[in-house]
Amino acid sequence: MIRLERTTPDTLQQNGNAEWMNRTLTDHARCMWIHAGLSKCFWADAMHTTIYLINHGSSSPLNFGIPEEAWSGKEETLSHLRVFCCMSYVRISDHVRDKIDAKSQKCTFNG
């Protein structure tokens, strides 16, 4: 037997958990994006970083375990995390630069 469910458009109460998570993701991404002072073209980067952080942070439904660990079965380390949009330096390859040119370029890390 097929059960047909009807929902009313724009009614957040009918899909509470999904709407709650969507709002959480959006709010976190907005905070990081505004704090970094980025243009709107970097909104997706802020959202991807937010999702990554939530998947690699502790979760109360998993008894404060890490969702990524539960999914992959591998122990996670968070030592690689950096502040969103922090200053970083990218190495310039030897064959691209001259002998007296700078060996790195100052950039903004956003991922």
Contact present, 100 and 89 (Cβ < 8 Å): no
Give percent above pLDDT 70 in the chain: 86
**pLDDT tens-place string over residues 34-44:** 988 888 988 99
pTM for the structure as a whole? 0.65
Question: What band does 5 get if pLDDT is binned at 50, 70 and 90?
Answer: low
Mean pLDDT of 68-97: 85
Q: Are 58 and 65 in contact (CB under 8 A)?
A: yes
